[in-house]
Structure 1
Amino acid sequence: METPTTARRLDRLPKAHLHLHFTGSMRHSTLVELAGERGVHLPQALVEEWPPRLRATDERGWFRFQRLYDIARSVLRRPEDMYRLLREAAEDEREAGSAWLEIQVDPSGYASLFDGLTATLELILDAARAAERDTGVAVGLMVAANRTRHPLDAKALARLARQYAGKGVVSFGLNNDERRGRAREFEGAFRIARRAGLLSAPHGGELQGPRSVRECLDELSADRIGHGVRAVEDPYLVERIATQEVTLEICPTSNVGLGVYEDLEHLPLRRLFEAGVPIALGTDDPLLFGPRLVEQYRIAREVFGFSDAELAALAGMSIRGSGAPDALKKELLGGVEAWLASEPEPVPDATPGASRPPGRA
């Protein structure tokens, strides 16, 4: 597919980012700097060979992915590190045209450093407010449980999230390897979160197929599903998702980087969009996959041939599916309309396929 010689700038398209993990949002340069300061040895996959070549469709591959993630998390040891991470994440969102960042975090991963779960969540919420003041990007928090841990741990996190509903926490999630914890086991935690008015946004349909997605809908009453791409294997499920207007948080470079699909062309982005499924493009963990949010929209344009009207529709879906305040949603949706009404600009050094993102095994 040829790159157009004129196009509306994607970094000026208002959008929301709904699928970004806390540690995984860290800039690579920040990881290297903090590792040097803290005496943390980084493997070559996080230094000269970055971004690492990953594949998580088998247990060994997932273990390697998780090991790299845990090493990265180990450099975040002081309160100022948390403030820096969120400020830089918000700066990156602003550059991408995102005005709402819904970042997900499991506070238990940092609780031993910062005096327990409650103190950790309050630290992160304060860092989010500071990032919002510094950048103008509104930041909401998703408290996310780890499906490889006991469901009682998830209930404790749901009760914690409930305490801060309306005070910065807007959603409740469930992450990590689907093969090691079914969604139905966490129904109690999500019931607590939903009763507090929090959006339900579990991961599903990434490393496992349609059954994982159905459980998120049936057992967790999902408003959004992290990834969800493998729902495409069941046409009736796709129709249900579209009818119920459940937003799928699709992360193209992550899905290819982890081996869910062999290359970008096989990602069912176009099929799901044309089936009427609400889609919010996300990055998942740019620290490990490389490209950030605006590149995901570029993939939609250059690999899947999305027109500017369709890209604007994607941006609108991300905004509507977010936990942002209604007033902000209205403002951003107006900005999307204004972007689409603007004139395209010349693309610098436009050559056919020049900026096409490569596929990765």
Structure 2
Amino acid sequence: METPTSTRRLDRLPKAHLHLHFTGSMRHDTLIEMAEARGVHLPQALAEEWPPKLRGTDERGWFRFQRLYDIARSVLKRQEDMYRLLREAAEDEREAGSGWLEIQVDPSGYASRFDGLTATLELILDAARVASEATGVGIGIMVAANRTRHPLDARALARLARQYVGKGVVSFGLNNDERRGRARDFEAAFRIAKRAGLLSTPHGGELNGPRSVRECLDELDADRIGHGVRAIEDPYLVERIATQEVTLEVCPTSNVGLGVVEKVDHLPLRRLYDAGAPIALGTDDPLLFGPRLLEQYRIAREVFEFSDPELADLARMSIRGSGAPDSLKKEMLAGVDTWLATPPEDGAV
């Protein structure tokens, strides 16, 4: 019999993780170990005051965030580092109950170390394959363009991603500071990706408002939107997202860490959900923000009072919005039903 304190264990709820950046997935102790081994000096914010205090709502704050991210990326110098990162990311997903991880990476950030764009992407795809086989977690790669670079660079990445459809690449994204590159400038790259059968998964509606989200829908034909929480400022836009079933990748602790909202209870998670917007909870960059996927579900439960049936609904949304194979989606959705049919436990987390 269910009591007010009866809940089901969230780590046993099958789910998909759709918003995780490659370097940002690194464990903090792995960063410390690799930095020492590779001779990389870490600033105090990464070494001793972790997680760092961040705020990306002004240019100086975003620059500091990007600088820390770039320093962390610089420890990934050897092929074995890439294999380790993905193996540990998959292990963390398995512990959280995630059966599918869609991790996003801009291969150009590593190309100079690993013999060019194509060789870098093939290295990442092989590391993903090995990690998946070792953990049982499905892994898809999102090739993500950098909106602070020229749109021609994005087209080159889209053409590269197109070559690996059916070979591990499942989506095409657009990341970095949306105030420095409008979505519409990258329409040609996303047209290439969509025609190849890749999901369109740009960032939008994080540091900019509804116009950013609207451009992702109108110009990039988005299937999912990274963050998208600022859509709440336009009720008609939220209704459109719900009607078109565009999944919003909502990252609670990241949104607080970068100052999108002052406190986690200010996040419009409940309002978006109640309005019918599909939502996939994500972590963004746990290396810099701390909490991983399980904590995002705990926030939904403890801060926004999502019931177990509603948490199951969030998990289903993440699975349906993913680029996972249909067979895996079917298996995971059945697992969600099984989780919900299992009697709750007192004090379960």
3-state SS of the aligned residue for 1:41? coil
- Structure 1 residue runs of 5 or longer lacking an equivalent are 351-361
3-state SS of the aligned residue for 1:172? strand
3-state SS of the aligned residue for 1:219? helix
| Partner residue in 2 for 1:300 | 300
User: How big is the shift at 1:4?
Assistant: 5.9
Q: Which residue identity lines up with residue 335 of structure 2 in the other structure?
A: G
User: How big is the shift at 1:5?
Assistant: 3.5
The Cα offsets for residues 260-314 of structure 1, whole Å up to 9 and x where unpaired, read as 0000110000000000000000000000000000100000000000000000000
**What does 1:51-200 align with in structure 2 at a 5 Å threshold?**
51-200=51-200
8 Å CA contact 1:172, 1:202 repeated in 2: yes
| Partner residue in 2 for 1:316 | 316
Q: 2:208 & 2:302 partners in 1: Cα distance?
A: 28
* Same amino acid, percent of matched pairs: 84
User: How big is the shift at 1:87?
Assistant: 0.2
1:42 matched to 2:42: yes
3-state SS of the aligned residue for 2:220? coil
Q: 1:141 & 1:188 partners in 2: Cα distance?
A: 20
User: How big is the shift at 1:7?
Assistant: 1.4
8 Å CA contact 1:4, 1:347 repeated in 2: no
1:15 matched to 2:5: no
Give the TM-score of the pair, scaled to structure 1. Answer: 0.95
1:226 matched to 2:197: no
Aligned length: 347
The Cα offsets for residues 230-273 of structure 1, whole Å up to 9 and x where unpaired, read as 00000000000000000000000000000000001100000000
| Partner residue in 1 for 2:252 | 252
Q: 2:235 & 2:5 partners in 1: Cα distance?
A: 37
User: How big is the shift at 1:347?
Assistant: 1.6
Superposition RMSD in Å:
1.0
| Partner residue in 1 for 2:205 | 205
The ranges of structure 1 where at least 4 consecutive aligned residues each deviate by more than 4 angstroms after the TM superposition are none
3-state SS of the aligned residue for 1:328? helix
The Cα offsets for residues 175-226 of structure 1, whole Å up to 9 and x where unpaired, read as 0000100000000000000000000000000000000000000000000000
8 Å CA contact 1:179, 1:207 repeated in 2: yes
Q: Which residue identity lines up with residue 199 of structure 1 in the other structure?
A: L
| Partner residue in 1 for 2:236 | 236
Q: 1:4 to 1:298 in 2, by over 3 A?
A: farther
Q: 1:101 & 1:4 partners in 2: Cα distance?
A: 33
Q: 2:92 & 2:347 partners in 1: Cα distance?
A: 22
1:339 matched to 2:335: no
The Cα offsets for residues 3-57 of structure 1, whole Å up to 9 and x where unpaired, read as 9633100000000000000000000000000001111111111122100010000
3-state SS of the aligned residue for 2:115? coil
Q: 2:132 & 2:345 partners in 1: Cα distance?
A: 30
